[in-house]
Amino acid sequence: MSTIAWIGFCQSLFAAILMFTKKESSLPDKILSGWLVLLSFDFLSCGINYEIFNRPLLISSFLLFNPALYLYIRSLTRPEFDLKWIHLLHLLPFVFFGVYTYIIKEPFLLDTFFIKDKYFLFRLSFALANLVSWSIYNPLSLILVHKHRMHLHNELSNIEKNENLGWVLAVAIFYVVYCFLALIISVVVFYSSDINQLTPHIYNYFTLLIFIYVISFYGLRQQKVAKHLLIDEPLIPYKNSNLSAETKAKIKQKIITYFEKEKAFLNPELSMDVLSESLKIQKYQITEVLNTEIGNNFFQFVNHYRVEAVKNMLADPKNNYSIEAIGYECGFSSKSSFYTVFKSITGETPVTYRNKIN
């Protein structure tokens, strides 16, 4: 366990330095750098506990990881977010329980956790604080990422990896699973006398070490998301729409006519802003019609046209373009997005489709 602690301390501190010195560092980068510094201290305290007390003390990395992940995601997905001193209150439970644990030197032992001694209320408060932290920050983090990704699908026809925050969503989902497993392991160890009492603690810091490698690797690659791609207002509830059925039908027809006659989907820079300007229709009205009348968001609608155009070019025996060139010709901005979208719609890669029709 000491080895994991010292590796985690070195890796966290090294990653924090890399993030802090990152070229064109943004607010999310600074938050991630501070988060990694705090994680390095968490690993340091863990290592010191084993060296001095020969056992872990009652300190929770969850009380740090939960709010830090939320603040990082919020800084990535909200244009109005600005880190203020008041946001440090999110870390107050982590600091309070950490400091008080060192004062009383309360160990992390599940077999004595619920014994009603003079520190029973402290341990109970500690457990409740972790449960509350999980139940509040984890859903908020997932909601923020999900809304951002849905917003992009209503704004852009080509979405790059830097913009969709897929790695952040994967981390948030995996973290929720990790928390549930930590709870299950703790319950199993509590009721079993054959399993090492330190198993939950080892599991916690070993998985946390993996998280550090992941968030530091992707955090260094993550670029600042353009402000116009961030959600700055709540999604309009379509059930309270002011658009009549006749107005929706007219807008729908305008959209389809524009795409079929003007071949707007061939423009790789096509966005909701461009479409709204071309049709002289408000963005929220186009979004509503696409989602309620056509049954697709903007991203899906545009790329269905692009995929059909690709299929037509692949079926043309006189076409000598490479598959990648066909993708670019039909409006896709990168090979990876072309292959991903084509397979999601047709169930086949462009290569498989071409071989089949030939």
In order along its 358 residues, the chain shows pLDDT tens digits of 788 889 999 999 999 999 988 887 889 999 999 999 999 999 998 888 888 878 888 888 889 999 999 999 999 998 888 889 899 899 999 999 989 998 988 888 777 788 888 889 999 999 999 999 999 999 999 999 999 988 888 888 888 777 888 899 999 999 999 988 988 988 888 787 777 777 888 888 899 999 999 999 999 888 888 776 777 655 555 556 678 889 999 999 999 999 999 999 999 999 999 999 999 999 888 988 998 888 889 999 999 999 999 999 988 888 888 999 999 999 998 888 899 999 999 999 999 988 888 7
CA 119: distance to chain centroid?
A: 38
Whole-number Å distance between alpha carbons of 279 and 264: 11
Q: Which residues pair with 107 in a beta bridge?
A: 57
Tell me the whole-structure pTM to 2 decimals. 0.86
Q: What is the pLDDT of residue 185?
A: 87
**Total residues found in the chain within this entry:** 358
Tell me which residue of 285, 290, 287, 355 sits closest to 323, measured CA to CA: 355
Whole-number Å distance between alpha carbons of 8 and 2: 10
Q: What is the pLDDT of residue 240?
A: 62
Whole-number Å distance between alpha carbons of 187 and 190: 5
Q: What is the pLDDT of residue 10?
A: 92
Whole-number Å distance between alpha carbons of 326 and 349: 13
Whole-number Å distance between alpha carbons of 158 and 268: 7
Architecture of domain 238-357: Orthogonal Bundle (1.10)
- Class (C level, CATH) for 2-229: mainly alpha
Q: What is the pLDDT of residue 239?
A: 56
The residues spanned by each domain of the chain are: 2-229, 238-357
Whole-number Å distance between alpha carbons of 202 and 179: 14
Whole-number Å distance between alpha carbons of 297 and 209: 38
**Residue 188 three-state SS:** helix
Q: What is the pLDDT of residue 316?
A: 84
For residues 162 and 223, the answer to whether their CB atoms sit within 8 Å is yes
